[in-house]
Amino acid sequence: MDTGSTLDETAHTVTRTVRVAASRDLVFEVLTQPSQIAQWFGQRADFPDGVHAGAHGTFGWVDHGDFPVRIDRYDAPTAFAFTWGTPGEPIREDNSTTATFTLEKDGEKTQLTVVESGFDTLGAAAGRRAAMEDNARGWTGELDELVAHVDGLERGTGLAPIADVESGRITRSVLVRAPQQTTWDVLTDPVAIEQWWGHPARFPGGLREGAEGTFEWTGHGLMPMRVERLDAPAVLELLWGELGEETPGDDASLVQFRLSPVGPDRTLVTVVEHGFTHLDDAGRRAAMEENVTGWTNVLNALVTYAERADA
């Protein structure tokens, strides 16, 4: 049975183990990819050069700031480790701890264990004890959220989109029961887009990096698009302009799709929309709430269409 975190005051560690009703491939993806991390561990995870051993980035919480992070180990799908420090300071031995994750097969489930160490270097005994207790509560809550997130993906609907109003970012993931290539084809073929998006998509020069086109909002007009990145069959990035513009302007949103294979016949699709920062607080919140509803409906339709295409 899964329990809360445990403290070892002799070894100066915090440990927690959970069992997740999903494959190691899926659990590792949710554990390690920034767009996934931000859906269960704080509100932001930024790694400009990607996640790999030696990479640097941040984990962010609205109420606590951005914590510097160094990836120490990345062995898919069995092990992952990072060292994280104090907001506003470089990582040092006296202000950081290391979280090490191991993933083991448990029948059709995955046993995920985290051991956080390094508390013995944080200063006075009372402070070390307080830090261990705080992080023990943290891992109990955060890993419960990871389990819930994976459960939502396995149900086929994913969880509700996450809107970070402060940064102007919306994130949502869904698990498609179709191979990565099939899912990619459905995502990028204008004929297919019209079926699951519900509105015409046109790219006269074809869908390629730098290509410009439009998505039509039937009855309202055209929204200009520009392909910023196309790395088949894994990454599509679109600059999405305002209704009625000829080309995406300064207030355009950047929409990023990431497709990750989960075994041979399933694909984890994550969309991240960045923008809205030109709006005042009330306008930003209203626009993001509208798009949260939109991404819920659109990605659900994408799942249905891709799975039927693979049937």
Domains of the chain by start residue, with CATH: 6-154 (3.30.530.20), 162-310 (3.30.530.20)
pLDDT in tens, 101-115: 999 999 999 999 999
Assess whether the previous peptide bond of 68 is cis (omega < 30° from 0).
no
CA atoms of 302 and 306, how far apart (whole Å): 6
Give the C-alpha separation, 89 to 279, whole Å: 31
Q: Average pLDDT of the chain?
A: 94
pLDDT of residue 257: 98
Query: What was the pLDDT predicted at 167?
Result: 87
Number of CB atoms found within 10 A of residue 222's CB: 18
Give the mean pLDDT of 82-102. Answer: 97
Query: What sign has the CA pseudo-torsion 267, 44, 146, 82?
Result: positive
pLDDT, residue 218, reads 84
Decide if pLDDT at 290 tops 80.
yes
Q: What are 37-89's pLDDT values in tens digits?
A: 999 998 889 999 999 999 999 999 988 999 999 999 999 999 999 999 999 99
Q: 1 pLDDT exceeds 60?
A: no
Cα 225 to Cα 202: distance, rounded to the nearest angstrom = 9
Q: What is the pLDDT of residue 219?
A: 86
SS3 172: strand
**Model pTM score:** 0.87
Q: Would the pLDDT of 133 be above 60?
A: yes
Higher-pLDDT residue of 176, 155? 176
* pLDDT band at residue 158 using 50, 70 and 90 as cut-offs: low
Binned at pLDDT 50, 70 and 90, residue 125 comes out as: confident
| Whole-number Å distance between alpha carbons of 125 and 201 | 62
DSSP-assigned letter for residue 120:
G
Tell me the mean pLDDT in the region 86-95.
96
Confidence of residue 157 (pLDDT cuts 50, 70, 90): low
Gap between the Cα atoms of 49 and 47, Å rounded: 6
Residue 205: band (very low, low, confident or very high) from pLDDT cuts 50, 70, 90: confident
